[in-house]
Structure 1
Amino acid sequence: MDTTLRDFIGTEVKTYYRESPWERLKVPFKQAISPIIASQLPRCRSSSSGGRRPNRSNVWRFWDSLTLTVFDIPSEWIEENGNKLYNLWKPLHKHGNISFMKFIEPPNNNLTTTAIVRFFPPPRDPFWQPFNKIRVNGVDLNVRIDPYTQNSLTKQSSFTTVGNQYNKIVQLPLSSLTIGQSYHEKMVPLFGHECGTPLHDISLSVDFNNRRFMISFRIIAGEITDDYRLDINFRSVVDDIGIDVEKDSITLSFRYRLPPVLFRKELLESETKLRKVWSSSNLWRRQVDILPSSNRAVPNSPLQLLNSNNVPLGRSNMVMFSYDIRNSRSEEANAFFIEELEKYNLKSRMYRVSTYRIDGYSLRCELLYRNTDLSHTVLYLLETCLSQQLLSEVDLPVLLDNLNQLQEKRATVFLKNILASQKPLHNPTREIFTQQMAFFDLINTSSIRIRKLFVTPTTIRIVEDSIEAGNRVIRHYRQFADRFMRVQVADEFTKRKVYADNSNCEAVFARVLQLLDQGVKVGNRIYEFLAFGNSQLREHGAFFFASGPDLNVEDIRKWMGDFSEINSVSKYAARMGQCFSTTKDIDRFSVNIAPRNDIYKNNNCFTDGIGMASLSVLRRLSFEIDDNELFPSAFQFRMGGYKGVLSLAPPTKLEYHQGDLVFPRPSQDKFKSPHAVLEVIKVSRFLNARLNMQIITLLEGLGVQQDVFLEMAKNQLSELNNAMTNKQKCILMLRDNVDENRSTLVMADLIQSGFLEKNDIFTKNLLNLYYEWVLKSIKEKQKLNVSKGAYLFGVADETGTLKGHCDDAVLSIPEIFVQVTNHHSEAEASSTGRIKTTVILGLCVVARNPSLHPGDIRVCRAIRSDDLMHLKNVVVFPTKGDRSVPAMCSGGDLDGDEYTVIWDPSLLPKIVNYPPLLETTRKHAAKFLDGKPLIDSVKAFFICYIKNDNLGLISNAWKAWAHDKDNNPDGIYGQTCLKLAALHSQAVDFPKSGIACTMPKELRPKQYPDFMQKQRSRTFKAETAVGRIFQYAAKFQKENEGIRKFDPNMEMVYDDRMKLPKYKLNYLHIAEEVKERYDFDMKALMNRYEIASEYEVYTAFILLNDDMKTSINEYGVREEIMLQFSIIKKAYVNEYFEKCGLSTSCSNQDNKARIDSAVAAAYDVTYKQRLHSLRNGKRLPLISFPYIFVNILCRIAHSAAISN
């Protein structure tokens, strides 16, 4: 058993008298209690006083902080020109460190007000004594130590698992600090005492409330003094905390996954003149490096991973610090500190870390960029391994020397094997470079590999190439594909965007400016800013390109199109980004363009973003995408400067079907471009409707009863449980709840084919994963499937049949047309080819995500129209009326927006068609910078967007206020929620409008509902429908915990039906070879998104960890994974059959038998690999390869059933 620190510390922690607050709180006494709380109490024993109680008037000297209440402050101090808190800060800050100040707003016409001032630690002398008064600006102010205020500001009102109340922060003075890099069980010092760096006033603060270590220190360089702070999140800590106990001191060390967040303290007196509430946290500014104040200009050079001119904080992954335990207070605090850390799963063990000092660290870093012998591919892979800390720059002399002696292909294989293993390699020997390595060339298909890196405040992280369908630009310049790169600005946790107050993050924004102006250097190439798409901008990303004499970024921009007529920076950037939309070109399918006019009324466009296409175009499209539902009725497209959606033209108008014709409209024409190839983004298809937290909140506010939603949640969870034990119910449930990826249909096919009955672990785990994912979706996001509903593209009524919205009508119910492919509907059905469809009739709820305003929910009447029967799996909106229905659905249009349509009568609101949020008069969008190149304005807009990206903040604030009946009794109709809805609409439009959106501080929530799971904030139990769903689902989850456990490590059971195909032996070696490459790409995809299992990639049912939940756009990540896995799947299916010499288009029986044999061979290879790994205790290989041929696996199973 490992020895822990507590085995070496015999500290007897101070205990309380019976008259202590513990007795009043009815809390059991403990021997191990917080030393900080003990020191705050006036009636505690003291070793220094021989058991005598200290003077009550001086007890504050033993506290960690002191909070004073200041009375009789003139009210004019808090007025606009009254200097506000500066009046107090100026005379008081000389007495000690002020950590918090706040004015209490005076009642109307009150001449005086009150303020709270907190010192941390307490001031050196009682400046308010002897009369409890101070004189400021000629005014006598009363001062009092207020116990209530003291406790409310300094204590965390919660209890540990053993019943002890503790302070928010435990503080320890440190005697030494070293930051370094883990290297072969040792630490290479990079900064601090072990490097000879003189650090002063070092201290450790452990913030249990925010779960982080805060290490502060001071650097004195001549006359310049700078205070810095490093923050390390508890979740970032890797393995146990190592402890080395000496006679008078203790040394702690631990590794961390992510570089520390760096701050520097700036004393800005002017800030206190502008604020009514001020905290010392306002003084801390994010930093990207530890540099003297005189040397902080933006470097005139590209960003790079290894920089010999700075402190390599971003390269660190280990910290070591020591503190003295000779005084009883430090000893007691230490015992409490270690014990509390264990409650956060941060275990300690006795371990002495040894340092590994190297000479010439900077020179070693420079070697990477001086090497001219290695190819860019090898250098790029080497830098990728370094950025992921799989290799260390310490070993660069050895690495470069040995890689130079290898052939390029072998050097590439060596580095790719390191990436695939994800195991660090330190101090490599020459034999490692020459040993046999099993690796194959990667696939060469129509898919394109794009490089990607993250730029964080202190480092860059290069990730494995992403496999993409491509876009117009990259397809045109395919021979230069390896010179394109996706670059994303992120926080140290590389999936989280940089969210910060503009004033405290200027150094980070300066680093982003350096990135945009100077580019980023990887290997021997400098990648320069090119452009960004709309979805990229929302994730703070852009495309970069490594210019050369044969092609540069300006050449590419000129080829993209003519943007000269655009006079808005945001629109200019958006139009360039249009060329980077991920699309599939229809095999160089050129069409004839016949423009049509938009339909307008009262300045409202009813065809905004929608055009038409002929039947032959839709048929060609159906052939290209292999759609099982004959052909789609609409598709989202790009073509030259056109964008939006094209729907099937009315078949009654024969002139629309005379060849391959498309009919775009002016609202779709965004810029001039010679590019005339039709590109497809997405096609219309049926998806189940799902309620989410926002729509449930709005529907409840509009009159739908809470019990309706709660019963839906109960029924779905009950159905989920029942389906796990009943095959037919399970198949029915999966087919009734179709997801975007069609994964539920794949699972239903596997179960229908008997794979579950054969104990197939892949099918079992898919089902168990689905169970966990649905349960988490209902509990955490309140997502409820609606059986009588659909999620569909919006299109326009080109026939003019449907009645529109009328402003003058008392109750205007516009008409829509909806025809869906629903296999289980009992309504009237008509046959259109192979798939039965249902025409929806009656009142429907129509909504678009996101919806925050009560007017975003519209009620429409679905009717049957023979003129519109050619359209299916879309919602057809009227082109008549006073106002466009999509525009009333949270500002929607028809250029690709999808709408939730619900025809369940129980979900119809009592308040019908509340007035929508009207678009207010907009300010003029930002213009181009005078006298600067146009692209400089685009770069400035990119930084402006990052600075003002408040969409998530506003959305979360609306969630909190909408359910806070105490502070907002009117719910969604309260002024706070209505203001937030308007701000949210503005924030959504920011990428296109260029108008920044800021959220006033008074709109920030005072408390959060329990379903938001804000563990570190003040919370309340939500008594709304959403709250009740969360509470029921949490109870259900606890009661059913472990019943359906998703376990990727199950033992694989062989399915004897795979023995039947007779040509199987012919393909085993090919299956083994192709699976090796498939596994590599799957692991790369999993590593890129930090996904734990291949099942999550296969289905896109991602179980996010706590870090990921709060830091990424789950829907966006699921879309990316669905796209990338579909490309991987298609590429390897084609490659495998091609290598086997088989054609899927040939239908003769012998060819089918050989295809079945090839898939059975893939299954056999996977089974043998899994069995071998289990027997030898090796890391389990991936098993999803044979399941990319799921249709053929099911065919083999059915053939076996017939044979039997």
Structure 2
Amino acid sequence: GMVAVDPNLEGDVLCIRDSQKKFDAPDSSILEIAKTVKTSLPGHLNRQIIMLLSTLGVPDEVFIELQNEMCADIDAMMTNEEKAREIVKRNMGTKECLHITRTILSMIEEGMMKGIVDPFLNALLECKRVYALKMLRHKARILMPKSFLLLGVIDETGKLEENEIYLQTSTIVSEHLTFNKANDKIRRESKIWTDQAIITRNPCLHPGDLRKVEAVDIPELSHLKNCIVFSQKGDRPLPNCLENAEPMEFDSQGKRELDRDVEIEDICEFFKDYMLNNRLGQIANLHLALADFNEMGVRSEECIKLAQLHSNAVDFNKTGIPVVEKLTSRSEYPDFMDSRYRDSYRSEKVLGKLYRDIQLDKPEKDPLLKYYKKTIKMDENFLFEGYQDYIEEAIACRDHYNSEIRSLMKKYNVKTEAEILTAQLLGFRRIDGSKSQDMRDAIIGSIFFIIYNCRKQFLMGLHNDHEADEDEDELPFNLNAPIPINNESKAKASACYYATYNQVEYPEEEKNKTILLSFPWVVSDILLVIRRDNMNELQASVPLN
């Protein structure tokens, strides 16, 4: 359950309600925290929300206009620095190796989108552009202005009246993700929202999962930020009601009870049952297909029944009671569901229109995602005096790093470097769901580990930073900590760049391998300092007329 700070409590006190006591653990005094609220994430529409709003009377043109505005921003990111920053930061809501994000934003800040754009930066931006469009086409993930994805807590003060909420957001307004500003104090801008609002929950299949509420200012709740505070007054929880619609009134199934203490065999048996009976995706997909096919949309009898089954399936991991009802079978699915195993028909509802408005080329045909020797131009602003002394070492490190990246690409059948670094896989039909997210998490973890080891080896090679007999496995190191910037580290980083971008003089031994360029950007914080210093020196040497 959720717990929130209460300034009225004295000392280190934790108060929980009876409903939050899932099981007794008298021998444990550890509080495990799954997630904390650090900042507010932007809210997005999705296919479930759009289908609900459309059924409830919101015109198709509203969604089409929102999608067109988002498409324009996405397409502009390849030439517009501000739009590029927005899209990259917007993706911070999804998991990604922080070093990659900082590298992209720092390259943009240093003006590397002007003139001849570095092919590595171009590929990363193009990957993010195509992935954002793919999320629009396949998931209708449309950015909604003035909306947020929030965790919900109860109003313990009792000040909120029925149908009221309290919402205060704290948004970061300072640049803090670039290397040269990573240690600056973060500046935030707080705002208390007051006006009519619509709230929904995730997942949302029933018309009663949307409700119009009133956001109000309650000074006693000012300590709560980046979460939505619900009133404790009223007959039903706010998300279960909607003005002018039937509220969702599904009975709780209770819990499966044992007349003895739970043993490890019970836990294993439950885990097996959960894996075999998890039908959330199956029910949600059928609900979406029927809502599109039926003129009444989500208000149809079949959809209401499926919403109840979905509610039961959501609670399965808590109740232990699976959904065993046989589901209706459909031979055709709407085209926007992109089903591989069923025939499809052209959907004339809003989701079909949104889907067909976005056309995507196959990623293997995208010239910006791959590198070609003839288009790789070395920028001498990244060269530092003495780099020649480290070329051999740089080549050895490059080949080992590239081998690790290629192994990862082969393991997940990914064709381009940009996709594997960002874990945004463009060639996969399924880009959501637990299996896809598990794969992305695994890729991100591997990329983090590869970059971590490479930066650690770079640091180990600097003569001024460790003793020769020091055990490298015990060397304290933080991936996001800056590497000392001095003449030696600059020369070594410059050698990494030269050995990678000079494909004519220092190609990899095996021919016909996919060209990789990310190796020197493992130390992008140092490379960008070299470039900045060289650019400043060049500008200072230009005579004024």
C-alpha separation in 2, matches of 1:688 and 1:682: 17
| Contact in 1 for aligned 2:399/2:508 (Cα 8 Å) | no
One-letter code aligned to 2:167: F
One-letter code aligned to 1:694: Q
**Is 1:1095 aligned with 2:418?**
yes
- Distance of aligned partners of 1:721 and 1:1148 in 2 relative to their CA distance in 1, 3 Å threshold: closer
Aligned twin of 1:852: 205
**Is 1:1173 aligned with 2:507?**
yes
Aligned twin of 1:918: 249
| Contact in 2 for aligned 1:857/1:913 (Cα 8 Å) | no
C-alpha separation in 2, matches of 1:943 and 1:1042: 39
| Contact in 2 for aligned 1:877/1:886 (Cα 8 Å) | no
Superposition map of 1:706-717 within 5 A: 706-717=60-71
C-alpha separation in 2, matches of 1:1029 and 1:1090: 29
| Contact in 1 for aligned 2:150/2:228 (Cα 8 Å) | no
- Distance of aligned partners of 1:940 and 1:888 in 2 relative to their CA distance in 1, 3 Å threshold: same
TM-score (norm 2): 0.79
Which of 976, 1000, 1012 is the equivalent residue of 2:302? 976
**Is 1:722 aligned with 2:80?**
no
Superposition map of 1:501-520 within 5 A: none
Which of 367, 372, 376 is the equivalent residue of 1:1050? 372
C-alpha separation in 2, matches of 1:1018 and 1:1116: 29
Q: Quote the offset at 1:974 in angstroms.
A: 1.0
Aligned twin of 1:704: 58
C-alpha separation in 2, matches of 1:1084 and 1:918: 52
Secondary structure in 1 aligned to 2:104?
helix
Aligned twin of 1:818: 168
**Is 1:843 aligned with 2:233?**
no
Q: Quote the offset at 1:1102 in angstroms.
A: 1.7
**Unmatched runs of 5 consecutive residues or more in structure 1:** 1-607, 613-648, 807-812, 825-831, 890-910
Rg larger in structure: 1
| Contact in 1 for aligned 2:369/2:418 (Cα 8 Å) | no
- Distance of aligned partners of 1:937 and 1:875 in 2 relative to their CA distance in 1, 3 Å threshold: closer
Aligned twin of 1:416: none
Superposition map of 1:178-257 within 5 A: none
One-letter code aligned to 1:814: E
Which of 9, 16, 33 is the equivalent residue of 1:665? 16
Secondary structure in 2 aligned to 1:972?
helix
Q: Quote the offset at 1:785 in angstroms.
A: 1.7
Secondary structure in 2 aligned to 1:1166?
helix
C-alpha separation in 1, matches of 2:418 and 2:234: 49
| Contact in 1 for aligned 2:210/2:239 (Cα 8 Å) | no
C-alpha separation in 2, matches of 1:820 and 1:995: 40
Q: Quote the offset at 1:984 in angstroms.
A: 1.1
- Distance of aligned partners of 1:857 and 1:1055 in 2 relative to their CA distance in 1, 3 Å threshold: farther
Superposition map of 1:598-747 within 5 A: 608-612=1-5, 649-650=6-7, 653=8, 655-656=10-11, 661=12, 663=14, 665=16, 667=20, 670-672=23-25, 681-683=34-36, 684-735=38-89, 738-740=92-94, 741=96, 746-747=103-104
Which of structure 1's runs of 4+ aligned residues deviate more than 6 A? 742-745, 1040-1043, 1142-1145, 1147-1150
Which of 851, 858, 877 is the equivalent residue of 2:229? 877
| Contact in 2 for aligned 1:1170/1:1181 (Cα 8 Å) | no
| Contact in 2 for aligned 1:1159/1:1193 (Cα 8 Å) | yes
C-alpha separation in 1, matches of 2:392 and 2:26: 49
**Unmatched runs of 5 consecutive residues or more in structure 2:** 175-183, 466-476, 539-545
- Distance of aligned partners of 1:939 and 1:1007 in 2 relative to their CA distance in 1, 3 Å threshold: same
Per-residue CA deviations over 1:656-696 (Å, capped at 9, x if unaligned) read 4xxxx463636267542766677665443343222111111
Aligned twin of 2:281: 952
- Distance of aligned partners of 1:922 and 1:1084 in 2 relative to their CA distance in 1, 3 Å threshold: same
Per-residue CA deviations over 1:246-267 (Å, capped at 9, x if unaligned) read xxxxxxxxxxxxxxxxxxxxxx
**Is 1:1159 aligned with 2:481?**
no
Greater relative CO (CA pairs within 8 A, separation 6+): 2
Secondary structure in 2 aligned to 1:815?
strand
C-alpha separation in 1, matches of 2:331 and 2:381: 61
One-letter code aligned to 2:206: H
Superposition map of 1:1005-1154 within 5 A: 1005=330, 1007-1014=332-339, 1016-1034=341-359, 1037=360, 1045-1051=367-373, 1052-1060=376-384, 1062=385, 1064=387, 1068=391, 1071-1072=394-395, 1074-1106=397-429, 1113-1140=435-462, 1151-1154=485-488
| Contact in 2 for aligned 1:735/1:745 (Cα 8 Å) | no
Q: Quote the offset at 1:953 in angstroms.
A: 1.4
Per-residue CA deviations over 1:996-1038 (Å, capped at 9, x if unaligned) read 113424x33353111112355343222222111011113xx47
Q: CA RMSD in A?
A: 3.9
Secondary structure in 1 aligned to 2:315?
helix
What is the count of residue pairs matched by the alignment? 506
| Contact in 2 for aligned 1:801/1:878 (Cα 8 Å) | no
One-letter code aligned to 1:997: V
Secondary structure in 1 aligned to 2:124?
helix
| Contact in 2 for aligned 1:1011/1:1026 (Cα 8 Å) | yes
- Distance of aligned partners of 1:1162 and 1:678 in 2 relative to their CA distance in 1, 3 Å threshold: farther
**Is 1:1188 aligned with 2:519?**
no
| Contact in 2 for aligned 1:841/1:864 (Cα 8 Å) | yes
| Contact in 1 for aligned 2:462/2:488 (Cα 8 Å) | no
Q: Quote the offset at 1:1169 in angstroms.
A: 6.5
Superposition map of 1:90-129 within 5 A: none
C-alpha separation in 2, matches of 1:796 and 1:1069: 62
| Contact in 1 for aligned 2:40/2:169 (Cα 8 Å) | no
**Is 1:1000 aligned with 2:354?**
no
Percent of aligned positions with the same letter in both sequences? 24
**Is 1:774 aligned with 2:132?**
yes
TM-score (norm 1): 0.38
**Is 1:1201 aligned with 2:535?**
yes
If each structure's helix is expressed as a fraction of its own residues, which one has the higher value? 2
C-alpha separation in 2, matches of 1:1012 and 1:1203: 56
Secondary structure in 2 aligned to 1:1105?
coil
Q: Quote the offset at 1:878 in angstroms.
A: 3.1
Aligned twin of 1:511: none
Per-residue CA deviations over 1:126-171 (Å, capped at 9, x if unaligned) read xxxxxxxxxxxxxxxxxxxxxxxxxxxxxxxxxxxxxxxxxxxxxx
Q: Quote the offset at 1:769 in angstroms.
A: 1.0
C-alpha separation in 1, matches of 2:296 and 2:364: 41
C-alpha separation in 1, matches of 2:21 and 2:450: 32
Q: Quote the offset at 1:1141 in angstroms.
A: 5.0
One-letter code aligned to 2:311: S
